[in-house]
């Protein structure tokens, strides 16, 4: 107990003897871990796998130029060299430089010049490129364009790099000679027609400086003319649609020259008269969409028939939309605005009530026989495509006749040979008695006129 009490009261126990080597020194007993050696003043050696290769486009260029020089002017030898070089040279890293060389002969600098880095140690450009082709004929350029095709089929990852490369190159058009721009445009036509290059790259041409200098229009016309001559006008149409330029052709003219006359002159002079027809068709489509949008919005919002009629006629006049096209748009908008009853016995009353409201709108836009016949055929096709309306056709025709939307002459014309094939026998049978009544009414009218003359 005495020992326990002594320890509990703080009496010190006998200490171990201090080693001779530490006598007279202050010993720190707070940590038991040995201190780590510092690296100060020592050079850290990077692991081999962590080392990054130096980016050296000039060295890559020199290697490619050497290979092309050895291949000579034989395109087949060039193709073979490029195919084999991909396993040794880093195409994935230097894809942009590779395409610069194959297009312009060397590394392109901003503005379209050729870099002269390393000129003291050797050549910085080659003529084995598109710009260095011996002539700009389609046959010759097909061979040079095929170099790119074969290269990208072998190394698929180059396709995306090529698209980005072409976006850059097109911005530099002003820095190229006229002959080089022609060569490039013809190759672009070949690549886009062969689906090697996305036609959307052509939207890059709508840069302000390219449009202002007329380079955008000239380049696009050369691309389209080449596509037309090598393929056909259908290819041109498809190319413009895929590029999203079919409705933007006017934007290629300088801002102060964007008139129909200048547009017409440009494409006629370039041998692309067909573009004028494409442009007119697209303008018409755009105008019809504008009309359809207006009608749908007004009908859905419950605007007055008078207000809608005025708006429709203004749009039609402004865009020179023909009456048959107007009446087709009106029919579609009016019929799409309603959720029709699915019960056949109820849909007739619903349809007649709805159409009676808009009869003045139809009447105001059926001033020609052609427009009336167009409307009648539209009604026929709608009733055939919507089974619940099969028995409503005759009632709609009678309503339009009584509302002075359709004349008896047009109804008789439709009955005789103006109808569509859809449900022909069914609808002709429905109108048989009404047509007989019209014929009798016409005969009675003629007889009364003769009696008055007598």
Confidence tier at 444 by pLDDT (50, 70, 90)? low
Exposed e or buried b per residue across 416-441, where buried means at least 16 C-beta atoms within 10 angstroms of its C-beta: eebbeeebeeebeebbeebbeebeee
pLDDT above 80: residue 7 = no
The beta strands (E) that lie in 42-199 are given as none
Q: Judge if 219 and 104 occupy the same domain.
A: yes
Q: Judge if 241 and 287 occupy the same domain.
A: no
Q: Please report the pLDDT score of residue 71 as a whole number.
A: 93
Interval 165-178: pLDDT, tens: 999 999 999 999 99
Q: What one-character DSSP code corresponds to residue 259?
A: S
Residue 48, domain member (yes or no): no
Residue that is written with structure tokens 């596509």 in the block: 227
Q: Judge if 61 and 196 occupy the same domain.
A: yes
Q: Please report the pLDDT score of residue 41 as a whole number.
A: 53
Q: Judge if 256 and 292 occupy the same domain.
A: no
Residue 434, domain member (yes or no): yes
Q: Judge if 61 and 187 occupy the same domain.
A: yes
Quote the domain boundaries for residue 145.
Answer: 57-271
Residue 10, domain member (yes or no): no
The pLDDT of 125-140, averaged and rounded, is 96
Q: Are 103 and 145 in contact (CB under 8 A)?
A: no
Q: Judge if 447 and 356 occupy the same domain.
A: yes
Domain boundary among 241, 271, 301: 271
Domain boundary among 271, 302, 330: 271
Q: Are 330 and 371 in contact (CB under 8 A)?
A: no
Domain boundary among 252, 271, 290: 271
Q: Please report the pLDDT score of residue 53 as a whole number.
A: 62
Q: Are 83 and 67 in contact (CB under 8 A)?
A: no
pLDDT above 90: residue 4 = no
Q: Are 180 and 131 in contact (CB under 8 A)?
A: yes
Interior angle at CA 334, CA 330 and CA 340, nearest 5: 150
Q: Judge if 181 and 236 occupy the same domain.
A: yes
- How many domains does the structure of the chain reveal? 2
Residue 18, domain member (yes or no): no
What's the pTM value of the predicted model, to 2 decimals?
0.70
Q: Judge if 223 and 341 occupy the same domain.
A: no
Residue 1, domain member (yes or no): no
Residue 105, domain member (yes or no): yes
Residue 416, domain member (yes or no): yes
Q: Judge if 293 and 426 occupy the same domain.
A: yes
Confidence tier at 55 by pLDDT (50, 70, 90)? confident
Q: Judge if 129 and 233 occupy the same domain.
A: yes
Q: Judge if 256 and 118 occupy the same domain.
A: yes
CATH of the domain at 178: 1.25.40.180
Interval 67-98: pLDDT, tens: 999 999 999 999 999 999 998 999 999 999 99
Q: Judge if 96 and 199 occupy the same domain.
A: yes
Instruction: Find, among 234, 222, 157, 152, the residue nearest to 190 by Cα.
Output: 222
Compute the mean pLDDT over every residue in the chain, rounded to the nearest whole number: 88
Instruction: Give CA–CA dist 333/331, Å, rounded.
Output: 6
Residue 203, domain member (yes or no): yes
Q: Which residues contact 95 (CB under 8 A, 6 or more apart)?
A: 157, 158, 161, 162, 165
């Amino acid at each position: 107990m005495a020992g326990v009490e002594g320890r509990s009261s703080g009496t010190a126990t006998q200490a171990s003897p201090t080693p001779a080597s530490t006598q007279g020194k202050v010993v720190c007993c707070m940590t038991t871990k040995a201190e780590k050696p510092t690296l100060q003043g020592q050079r850290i050696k990077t692991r081999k796998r962590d080392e990054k290769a130096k980016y050296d486009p000039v060295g890559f260029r020199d290697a490619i130029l050497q290979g092309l020089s050895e291949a000579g002017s034989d395109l087949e030898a060039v193709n073979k060299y490029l195919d084999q070089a991909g396993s040794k040279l880093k195409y994935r890293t230097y894809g942009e430089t590779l395409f610069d060389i194959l297009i312009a002969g060397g590394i392109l600098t901003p503005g379209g010049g050729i870099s002269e880095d390393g000129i003291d140690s050797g050549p910085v450009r080659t003529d084995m490129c598109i710009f260095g082709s011996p002539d700009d004929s389609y046959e010759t350029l097909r061979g040079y364009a095929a170099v790119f095709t074969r290269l990208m089929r072998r190394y698929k990852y180059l396709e995306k790099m090529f698209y980005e490369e072409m976006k850059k190159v097109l911005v530099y058009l002003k820095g190229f000679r006229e002959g080089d721009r022609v060569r490039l445009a013809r190759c672009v036509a070949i690549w886009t027609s062969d689906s090697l290059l996305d036609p959307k790259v052509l939207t890059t041409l709508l840069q302000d400086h390219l449009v202002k200098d007329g380079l955008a229009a000239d380049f696009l016309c050369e691309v389209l003319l080449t596509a037309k001559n090598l393929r056909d006008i259908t290819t041109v149409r498809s190319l413009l649609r895929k590029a999203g330029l079919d409705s933007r052709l006017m934007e290629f003219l300088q801002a102060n020259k964007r008139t129909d006359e200048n547009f017409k002159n440009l494409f006629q002079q370039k041998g692309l008269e067909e573009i004028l027809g494409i442009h007119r068709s697209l303008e018409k489509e755009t105008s019809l969409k504008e009309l359809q949008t207006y009608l749908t919005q007004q009908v859905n919002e419950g605007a007055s028939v008078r207000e809608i009629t005025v708006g429709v006629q203004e749009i039609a006049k402004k865009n020179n939309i023909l009456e048959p096209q107007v009446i087709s748009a009106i029919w579609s908008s009016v019929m799409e605005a309603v959720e029709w009853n699915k019960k056949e016995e109820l849909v007739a009353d619903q349809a007649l009530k709805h159409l009676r409201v808009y009869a003045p709108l139809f009447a105001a836009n059926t001033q020609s026989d052609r427009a009336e016949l167009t409307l009648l055929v539209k009604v026929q096709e709608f009733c055939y495509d919507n089974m619940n309306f099969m028995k409503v056709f005759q009632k709609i025709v009678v309503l339009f006749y009584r509302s002075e939307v359709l004349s008896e002459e047009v109804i008789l014309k439709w009955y005789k040979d103006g109808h569509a094939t859809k449900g022909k026998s069914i609808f002709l049978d429905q109108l048989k008695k009404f047509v007989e009544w019209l014929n009798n009414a016409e005969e009675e009218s003629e007889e009364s006129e003769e009696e008055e003359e007598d």
